[in-house]
Structure formats: C-alpha cells, structure tokens
C-alpha cells in the first residue's frame, strides 16, 4: 500500500487476527474487500513474511493477495463483512443490532469494498503523473452515500440479500444515514454530480471542500414559520471518511509583511492554525475508478493549549486558540452581518484555498521527483473555482510561487493564469462577492499586496489595449473592471491621463445603472453563499475588493452554466472583460448524474425505461433515452409509465403524512417547487397563484369547481437563509395558506398545500420521481442555470417556467409543446423595471384581488403588509416589485389553466411526460464533464484495468 507519508488514499489496516481474514475478490471487472469470519488461517502476508508496508502493484489485485477471483461477492460473504464491522469496528454498544448500528456496519463494509479501488486509483495517478483536475467548492451537497455506492459497485442485490439474512431490508438500513450537511443548494449538488461523473468517466480529478461540523442548519417549521437549529450529521460519526492525520498544512491569518535582507517579502506573525485532511471515497459507476473528496478540518497544535491559564481557573482563555480554529469549520455560510461574521467567512474561504493549494503543490513536487520544473505546473494541474468563494486561490498561488518557491512576478503570474479557471453561477450583484479592503488587509496582508499588483497589471493591460486618448472611456473601463473598487489610480498611471482625478464610484448608483438590485438593508439580505455589499452612511464609499473581477483577470477561462446565462455574462455582467479577452469566455451548461437522479432514486421508472429500450446502457449513455420517443404513443408503455409514477406518488403521500401530518390524494396532480427560498425564484408567485385558485374555488359550486379545476397537491420545500427576512416571510405565508386550505372542508382533496421541512437531497430523491408538474418560475435572466429542472425533466415531470437558465435548453430538447411557458423574457426585464419606476405599470385586476384577499386576514392574524408591500409602489428598496411578480401574474395563472386542460387528457399528459425524459439526455453531468475536460482542463481519461 502507499505509505501514509505520500498523502495518498492508503488506509492503515490490520492484516491478521485470530478472528478475521482479509480477502479481496474480483468479479465482472469489480474489486471489493470483505472481512470473512474465519479462524483457521492467518493472512497471506504473515505466512509469506512480507513486510506490512510493502508497496503493492497499483494496478492489479494480485499485488495484494494474489489471484482471489474464486471469492465472488455473494450475499453470505457480505453478511459476514457486516457482522465483522458490527463486532470489531463498532460505534455502538454490543448488546443490540439496531438499525443505526446496522447502517454503520453496512457502510463500513462498503467502504472496505471501495478502499482497494480508491488506493489503486490514487497510485495509478502517482505512477503515470498525468495532469489532474482539482475542483474547489465551498459546498458539496452529497446526500446519502450508501445506496449510491453499492449501486455504482453493482452490488445492490447482494447487499439487499445480505441484510435480509441479518433481519433487515436495505431501504430501512439506508434510511438511517443522515444527509451530509456540506452544502445547501444547486451549487453544492452540482459539485457532487460532477464528482460522480469524473469518477464514472475515469478522469483524474479530486474535489476539495471544508468539513462543516453543523452544515447550514436544520430547518424546523413552527407556528412562527421557519426556525433554525444546528445540523447534527456528524453527531454519531461518519463511516465514509478517513482522517489523514499525516496530511495537514499550516494556515495563517493576520500578522504583517516583512522584507528580508535578501529583499524578499515574508508573511510573519499573526494567528496560526492547522488544516487536517478528511478523505471521502467517490466511486464511479461500472468502473474501478474511485476518486477522492478531500475535506479540511481546522485545529491548533496541542502546545497552543494554555495549561497555566486552565489551572488558574481561566478555562475560556486556556482554550481560546483551539476554539478560534475549530469555529472556522463549524457551519456553512455563517451570518456576515457582524464584523466577526465577515472575518469568519473570509477565514473559511482562505482555509479552503491555502490548504488545498499546499496539498496540490506538494503532490506536484513529489510526482516530479528530484526534477521539479515549475513551468510544467499548468501541464500537470488544473484548478477549477466553483463560483467566487475560492477566489483567494489566485493570490495564494502567487504568494507560494513567489515567496516560498522563489519565482519572479512574471513567472508566477504566467503559471497562475494558465492553472486557474472560474465558473460563474450568478448575475445577482450581491452574489458577486466584494470584501472590505481594510478587513482583508488585516486578515491577509500579503495577499492584499499581491491583489494590488494584479490590479495595477490590469490597469496597464487596459491602457495597452485602448491607449490614453479617451480618458472618459478609460474611467468607465476602470470603474467596471478594476479589482480594487473606490481606489485612486496609481500615480504612475494617473499622470498619463488628461483627467488624473478619478471620482469614487458610488456602489448603489452603479447597481442602478446596471439595473441590478443592491442589498442595503441588513434585515432583508439574502446571505446564503454570498458576501453581501452594505451601503455605508459615510459620504465616501468604502474601499472594496471585487472577487469576481479577480477571478476573471487571474484565470484562463470563465464559463457560465447555461446558454442564456453565458450570454448575459458576456454581454452584461463582464462585458468589458469580454471585449478585452473574448477567448476566455465559454458556456458549460450544467448537468446532473443520471445514476443518482434516475437509476437509483427512481427504480420503478428505470425498469420501464430499460425494458422498452432493451438495455441499461442509457445510464451511461443518456442519448439512448431518445429511443423511447418512437414508443411515446404506445398504450402499453403509457400504462407502465403511469403505474411507475403512481407508485412513487403513494410513497410521497405516506412520507408527507409522517412528516407533516397532512393526508393527500395520490390521484391528484403533484405540483412541486423545491429549491432555495429566494425572491428571484418566486415562490411568492406560486403561492399567490394558489391563493387565487383557492379564492375562485370558494366562489364556485361543487360541480363548477370540479369542471374548472384539476385536483392538485402543491408541495414546497427549501430553506430561507437565517437572516433573509423577506424569504422567511414567504415560508411563513406558504405554511399559513396551507393550514387554511388543508382544513377547509369545502375544498377537501381539490387542493392541498404542503411545505416539507428541512428539504435536502434525500427528500429530493423521494419527491422528484413522484412529480408531475414542477415550477421553475424565476424572473427571466436571474437564474444562472438551475439543475433541479433537469432532474424533474429526467423523471418525466413537465415543467412550467420562464425562459430562464437551463429552462431555455430544456424546452428546446423536449419540444415547445411539452413545456408550459409564461412570463416576460430576459431582454424585456430592464425596460419593464424602468416602466415601473416611471409609474406606468398598470397591475392586473386579478393580482390586486389576490393581494387584497391576503390583506383581509383570510390566512390568519399574521401581518403580511410588508410582504405584500414589496409588490407595490414604483420605487424604493423592498418595494416596486423588483422581481416582476405582478407583471407575470396574469400570464402565470392563464398558463396554469392550460396545465389543467392538459392533465385531464391523461394519454396526452403521459406522452408529454415520456418526451420530457427522452429530451433530458443532454443534461447529464457526464456530457458537462467531457466539455470541461476538453475545453478548460485539458485532461484525459485514465482507467484502471
């Protein structure tokens, strides 16, 4: 095995005991490990006298234990493996074999099956020294791992049978696994889908993230709406991870920059912590490749514990250094309203970047042997920044190359730009991170110096491109493009211009000029995953560091995540950069893994698909789904298709009863909107449409109601960030509307409204297969891509939505007639907002009717004036209906009437459903990863044999 000092995926394991023998087996191109409870023989290595740390052949199992193909992965050996872990690696008492203990023992058994491939994959990368991609993300929304892992290993049946022998069914055991709380929304789920595809396609790659102890938060729904409590996913341990105590790196904050006698700059003093690696195996599907997700946890060395203070009774002071280090990885996206919150977020981001780059560089140096050629670094390493959170990779890589490796600025800059690439996920200005210059200077003084040099380099590039004959044009370019915002020009540059005095740019005026929202009220901010800009009362605007601009300048590629989004990125968000460097900009439409999002979460539908296509190859080659199109009108297929959907709906009905207490009719249409709660995603438009529907139902006789409306179960799910007050009002409103409608005897099963608390990946895996209509109704031009829309479409759900994000491409693939379209388009939005500001907007009378109905108290005593007030007026923060709910409301409710008409014709609806699945082939993350590998990373597949 690889020795621990290599930082590889090796695991220290016992080779022999009186109770167990370690056996490896291969079957159908799979490798697994199981512990069989055999007492009669010692292990092979002990017999042969081989040293325990002998380096094995990285490619073949024979390098470990010889030819063991005679040991098939049968249920009996797997059951023995589970029993071994229940007895010898327990996290629970030995008295009972409870479901939670069964899960841990089963997961540890599966992990054994992954370790040999995990180690062999890593060793192959070391041996071949190929170029490797590293995906850095603040989020990895993994979901449960057990069913995904055994599915990828093609051992689902064997594990089900093994657990049956032990008195359990696989589903019960799998349900004991908590969702890993390492992410929140689409950003993190995309990262996890990408890792699945990277492993499945045999690309050499790793993921890097942080090991959050409490994640974002666990959402509870009470009479007051959403309440947040700490997530407890690590409370009883994580059976998948392996701590690498030998893989740790120093991370520094604060201090100062000193100049040595050699003239070199050094970062000294300040606070020092240690980042420790925790590794999680990511198996590919039908391949031995198992890649790594390395998560960093933070601590300080034991000598930082102040024993004297502790013995003197100053316990808090004694533990202060440890507490400060540990809190970096306590939660995902700590609130940043306070100065301490901002510092903690910046510490998180720098910890991810610094530890990961130190690890990457150490691996590069080790693989280079004694001949390190730094100019080859970009030929061996590709670093992808998932949004702006890992932006500090750019100055950190520059710091390491210059200060620690002795390179010149020009050499380090050339290497950095060729190594790093940036994925943009938003056009929202509050999500294009800006950090206080003063705060960053206090926390990362050396990096600020480097950023200042990059900014000056950018200014020189702009002048080189455009000259100095048009100072006004240059001022506009500098205002839009500079990394440092509200800074005077360097003296050397200012002297070149006819107008050397640069007026500070007001943040709020710029945002209005670009027709984008700027958050100025701490109580109303959307804080999740963003570092929000605040308007200060002082007349002089604050000095800021614009992280997105730094990403564009410092990387060699910038990509949007859907065709329409990438066009907005080029034409609006970064237009000045696009004019300067058009070759940097690309589109990479997001994708989702068909393994988790069809094959494993929807086995009923998967069986139908496989039967009619005639092969299960579609799981790897989703273009084969198109073969279903020729059967879309076949009555037998339609019957089987509807039966699979109804089976999933029955499961969801049971789940909703257990989770919320509400009973729903599985024969009603399941209408679902599940995603982060945010004003631009317009859950408010959805619930106001439901209120309108309810009001009209109440005004009708039963017969008229039945003729007019199709029965619906309207399901919501998603978290509002803890400090995003308006989003939390929307959650409260949805639950109040549900409580009123669901207890109205006049309505009965005609309409139900259910908010599912604590929405996560596991809940999505249950809801999405049961969905019939899914709402993707964001204000056009504001959703970068969306990935839940792809998951719904893959599972035969029909979308209602605007032409926004990936909706545009989904509609193209599934056919216009199989997508319910409404609303203003992206190119119209700016003019519509200006029209509103000019007082020219005339609201639809149905919209006014709904608002008045809400204000009347029909849904309880809570005061919704502020929520409804956001939809009124012509200007002002928190008013003027910035997200155009009122503008799109008429077309939305008319489109919903079209939905009802289509649903009444079940043959037509089922055909639409089938064609949605067949048209989703383009949205596999496999296709996306192939494009990244070819166009951005320049890496090639490397497969174990």
- For 133, list phi and psi in degrees, rounded to 5: -95, 145
Q: How far apart, in Å, are the Cα atoms of 187 and each of 310, 389, 431, 590, 594? A: 43, 11, 12, 10, 17
- Check: CB of residue 566 under 8 Å from CB of residue 586: yes
- Check: CB of residue 435 under 8 Å from CB of residue 546: no
Helix (H) or strand (E) holding 776: strand 773-776
Catalytic residue among 56, 131, 189, 425: 425
Among candidate residues 320, 292, 289, the one with its CA nearest the CA of residue 305: 320
Question: Residue 180 has which token pair?
Answer: 């890993």
Angle, CA of 792, 793 and 798, to the nearest 5° = 95
Q: How far apart, in Å, are the Cα atoms of 13 and each of 52, 123, 281? A: 9, 17, 16
Task: Give the C-alpha separation, 279 to 283, whole Å.
Answer: 13
Task: Give the C-alpha separation, 556 to 394, whole Å.
Answer: 11
Task: Give the C-alpha separation, 401 to 360, whole Å.
Answer: 13
Where are any strands of DSSP class E within 223-320? 225-229, 242-253, 256-259, 265-268, 271-283, 290-299
Catalytic residue among 347, 752, 791, 833: 791
- DSSP output for 16-37: B-SS-EEEEEEETTEEEEEEE-
Task: Give the C-alpha separation, 403 to 384, whole Å.
Answer: 23
Q: 98, exposed or middle or buried, with CB in 10 Å at 0-12, 13-18, 19+?
A: exposed
Catalytic residue among 676, 719, 732, 836: 676
Residues 6+ apart with CB under 8 A from 134: 205, 206, 207, 208, 356, 360, 381, 382, 383, 384
Catalytic residue among 351, 391, 787, 802: 787
DSSP-based three-state secondary structure for 235: coil
- Catalogue the long-range contacts made by 461-465 (C-beta closer than 8 Å, 24 or more residues apart): 461/580, 462/580, 463/493, 463/496, 465/580
Where are any strands of DSSP class E within 514-654? 544-546, 558-560, 585-587
- Check: CB of residue 317 under 8 Å from CB of residue 213: no
- Check: CB of residue 331 under 8 Å from CB of residue 212: yes
DSSP-based three-state secondary structure for 76: helix
- Check: CB of residue 323 under 8 Å from CB of residue 306: no
DSSP-based three-state secondary structure for 225: strand
Residue 681 among the catalytic residues? yes
Q: How many residues does the chain have?
A: 945
Rg of the chain over all Cα atoms, to the nearest angstrom: 29
DSSP-based three-state secondary structure for 589: coil
DSSP-based three-state secondary structure for 878: coil
Residue 425 among the catalytic residues? yes
Looking at the DSSP bridge assignments, the partners of residue 206 are 134, 292
The number of angstroms, rounded, from the C-alpha of 278 to the middle of its chain's C-alpha atoms is 19
Task: Give the C-alpha separation, 409 to 399, whole Å.
Answer: 10
Looking at the DSSP bridge assignments, the partners of residue 24 are 33
Catalytic residue among 681, 712, 851, 922: 681
Among candidate residues 448, 458, 496, the one with its CA nearest the CA of residue 479: 458
Interstrand relation of 751-756 and 712-717 (parallel, antiparallel or unpaired): parallel
Residue 303 CB: number of other CB atoms within 10 A? 8
Percent of the chain as helix, strand, coil, to the nearest 5: 50, 15, 35
Q: 857, exposed or middle or buried, with CB in 10 Å at 0-12, 13-18, 19+?
A: exposed
Catalytic residue among 675, 682, 705, 922: 675
- Check: CB of residue 757 under 8 Å from CB of residue 659: yes
The residues annotated as belonging to the active site are 425, 675-676, 681, 787, 791
């Amino acid at each position: 095995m690889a020795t621990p000092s290599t930082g590889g995926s090796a695991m220290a394991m016992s080779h022999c005991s009186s109770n167990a023998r370690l056996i490896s087996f291969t079957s159908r191109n799979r490798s697994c490990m199981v512990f069989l409870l055999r007492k009669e023989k010692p292990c092979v290595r002990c017999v042969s006298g081989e040293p325990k740390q002998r380096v094995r052949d990285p490619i073949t199992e024979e390098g470990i234990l010889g030819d063991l193909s005679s040991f098939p992965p049968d249920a009996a050996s797997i059951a023995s493996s589970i029993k071994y872990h229940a007895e010898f690696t327990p996290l629970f008492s030995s008295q009972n074999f409870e479901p939670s203990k069964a899960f841990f023992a089963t997961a540890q058994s599966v992990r054994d099956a992954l370790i040999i491939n995990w180690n062999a994959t890593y060793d192959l990368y070391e041996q071949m020294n190929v170029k490797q991609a590293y995906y850095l993300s603040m989020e990895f929304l993994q979901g449960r791992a057990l069913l995904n892992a055994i599915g990828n290993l093609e051992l689902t049946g064997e594990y089900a049978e093994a657990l049956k022998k032990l008195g359990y069914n696989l589903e019960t055991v799998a349900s004991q696994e908590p969702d890993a709380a390492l992410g929140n929304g689409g950003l993190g789920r995309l990262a996890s889908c990408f890792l699945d595809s990277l492993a499945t396609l045999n690309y050499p790659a790793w993921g890097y993230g942080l090991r959050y102890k409490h994640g974002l938060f666990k959402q509870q729904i009470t009479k007051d709406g959403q309440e947040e409590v700490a997530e407890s996913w690590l409370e009883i341990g994580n059976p998948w991870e392996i701590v690498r105590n030998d893989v740790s790196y120093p991370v520094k904050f604060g201090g100062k920059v000193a100049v040595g006698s050699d003239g070199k700059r050094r970062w000294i003093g300040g606070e020092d912590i240690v980042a420790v690696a925790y590794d999680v195996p990511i198996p590919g599907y039908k391949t031995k490749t198992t890649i790594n997700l390395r998560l960093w946890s933070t601590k300080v060395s034991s000598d930082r514990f102040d024993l004297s203070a502790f013995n003197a009774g100053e316990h808090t002071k004694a533990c202060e250094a440890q507490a400060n280090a540990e809190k970096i990885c306590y939660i995902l996206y700590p609130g940043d309203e306070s100065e301490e919150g901002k510092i903690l977020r910046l510490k998180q981001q720098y910890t991810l970047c610094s530890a990961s780059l130190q690890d990457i560089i150490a691996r590069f140096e080790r693989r280079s042997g004694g001949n390190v050629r730094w100019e080859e670094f970009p030929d061996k390493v590709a670093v992808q920044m998932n949004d702006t959170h890992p932006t500090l990779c750019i100055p950190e890589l520059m710091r390491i190359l210059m200060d620690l490796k002795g390179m010149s600025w020009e050499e380090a800059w050339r290497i950095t730009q060729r190594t790093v690439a940036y994925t943009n996920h938003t056009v929202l200005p509050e999500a294009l991170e800006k950090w206080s210059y003063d705060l960053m200077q206090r926390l990362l003084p050396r990096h600020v110096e480097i950023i200042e040099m990059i900014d000056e380099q950018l200014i020189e590039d702009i002048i080189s491109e455009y000259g100095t004959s048009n100072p006004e044009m240059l001022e506009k370019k500098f205002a839009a493009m500079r990394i440092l915002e509200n800074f005077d020009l360097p003296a050397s540059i200012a002297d070149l211009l006819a107008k050397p005095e640069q007026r500070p740019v007001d943040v709020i005026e710029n945002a209005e000029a670009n027709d984008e929202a700027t958050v100025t009220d701490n109580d109303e901010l959307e804080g999740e995953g963003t570092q929000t800009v605040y308007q200060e009362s002082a007349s002089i605007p604050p000095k800021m560091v614009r992280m997105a601009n730094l990403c564009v300048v410092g990387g060699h590629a910038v990509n949007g995540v859907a065709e329409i989004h990438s066009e907005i990125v080029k034409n609006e968000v970064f237009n000045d950069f696009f004019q300067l460097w058009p070759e940097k900009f690309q589109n990479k439409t997001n994708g989702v893994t068909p393994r988790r999002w069809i094959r494993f979460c929807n086995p009923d539908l998967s069986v139908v698909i496989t039967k009619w296509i005639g092969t299960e190859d579609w799981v790897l080659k989703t273009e084969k789904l198109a073969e279903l199109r020729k059967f879309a009108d076949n009555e037998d297929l339609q019957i089987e298709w509807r039966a699979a959907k109804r089976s999933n709906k029955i499961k969801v009905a049971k789940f909703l009863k257990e989770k919320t207490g509400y009973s729903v009719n599985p024969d009603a249409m399941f209408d679902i909107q599940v995603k982060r709660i945010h004003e631009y995603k317009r859950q408010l438009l959805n619930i106001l449409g439901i209120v309108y529907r309810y009001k009209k139902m109440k005004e009708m006789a039963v017969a008229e109601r039945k003729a007019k409306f199709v029965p619906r179960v309207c399901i919501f799910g998603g978290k509002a960030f803890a400090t995003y007050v308006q989003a939390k009002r929307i959650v409260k409103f949805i639950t109040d509307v549900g409580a009123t409608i669901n207890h109205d005897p006049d309505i009965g099963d005609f309409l139900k409204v259910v908010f599912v608390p604590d929405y996560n990946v596991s809940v999505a895996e249950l809801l999405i297969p049961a969905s019939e209509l899914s709402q993707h109704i964001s204000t056009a031009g504001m959703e970068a891509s969306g990935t839940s829309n792809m998951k719904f479409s893959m599972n035969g759900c029909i979308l209602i939505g605007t032409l926004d994000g990936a909706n545009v491409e989904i509609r193209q693939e599934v056919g216009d007639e199989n997508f319910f379209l409404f609303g203003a388009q992206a190119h119209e939005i700016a003019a519509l907002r200006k029209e509103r500001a000019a007082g020219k907007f005339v609201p639809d009378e149905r919209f006014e009717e709904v608002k008045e109905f809400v204000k009347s108290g029909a849904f309880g005593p809570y005061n919704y004036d502020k929520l409804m007030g956001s939809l009124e007026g012509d200007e002002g923060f928190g008013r003027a209906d910035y997200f155009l709910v009122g503008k799109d409301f008429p077309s939305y409710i008319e489109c919903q009437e079209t939905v009802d008409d289509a649903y009444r014709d079940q043959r037509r609806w089922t055909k639409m459903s089938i064609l949605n699945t067949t048209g989703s082939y383009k949205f596999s993350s496999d296709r996306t990863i192939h494009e990244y590998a070819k166009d951005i990373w320049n890496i090639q597949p490397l497969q174990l044999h």
